[in-house]
């Protein structure tokens, strides 16, 4: 079992995505995704808009939390599992 620790400030978003969430453009699938992961996630001080962006159903598969692309920035790390499957900071 592993816990993923994600630096939310390092996650890239499409231009205008954050404003679209602020304007209320959030799909029902995104809200259901967020509802499903919430019991397994320590959101810390992560704001609601960021939570919704990370749970976005429009990605057709969600966020890839484990992988390596040479030269790409590191946005998180895997750690031995604690009480939460995902910790955001």
Residue 80 has pLDDT above 80, yes or no: no
Q: Count of domains in the chain?
A: 1
Helix (H, G, I), strand (E, B) or coil at 2: strand
| pLDDT tens digits, one per residue of 1-20 | 557 788 888 888 889 999 99
What CATH number is given to the structural domain containing 56? Answer: 3.90.650.10
Return the beta strands (E) in 1-89 as ranges. Answer: 2-6, 41-42, 76-80, 86-88
pLDDT for 11: 86
Mind listing the pLDDT tens digit for each residue in 33-64? 999 999 988 898 999 999 999 998 876 555 55
């Amino acid at each position: 079992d592993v816990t993923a620790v994600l630096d939310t400030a390092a996650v890239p978003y499409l231009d205008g995505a954050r404003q679209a969430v602020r304007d209320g453009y959030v799909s029902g699938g995104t809200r259901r995704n967020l509802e499903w992961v919430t019991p397994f996630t320590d959101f810390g001080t992560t704001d609601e808009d960021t939570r919704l962006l990370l749970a976005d159903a429009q990605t057709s598969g969600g966020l890839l939390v484990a992988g390596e692309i040479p030269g790409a920035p590191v946005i998180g790390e895997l750690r031995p599992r604690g009480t939460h499957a995902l910790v955001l900071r």
